[in-house]
Amino acid sequence: MEDGGGCVGWQVSLQNWMAINVDIIVDVDSGEAAIGWVIQDAQRASICVFMRKIGVAPLLSTKLRAAYKDLKIAQGKDYQLVILKSDMAGW
C-alpha cells in the first residue's frame, strides 16, 4: 500500500502476524553505536520498543543478537508469523 509519498507501508490482514524492525546507528568519528528495535502487531500497535547504547561492536553480530532476542519475545507472546525487517547497511 503506497502512502502517497512514494513509500510502501506494511499492511497485513492476519491477526497473528507481528513485525520486528531492528536498526543500528554508528557515530563515524568515535565508532560508538546504538541499537533500537520496535515490535508491532498487525494493527501497527507497538508491543515492545527498545534502544540502547552498545559502544563499539561488530554490526552483523549485534544485529543478529538483537533479532534473536526479538524473535524470542515473539515466541513468548505466541506469535507464529513474524516479519523481520532491518536496513542492510553495515551487513
**69-85 pLDDT, tens digit each:** 888 887 887 777 888 88
Number of domains the chain contains:
1
**How do beta strands 46-55 and 33-41 pair?**
antiparallel
- Is 79 inside any structural domain? yes
CA distances, 35 to each of 52, 55, 89 (Å): 6, 10, 13
The string of pLDDT tens digits covering residues 51-64 is 888 888 777 777 78
Domain that holds residue 24: 17-85
- Is 31 inside any structural domain? yes
The pLDDT of 8-17, averaged and rounded, is 62
- Is 6 inside any structural domain? no
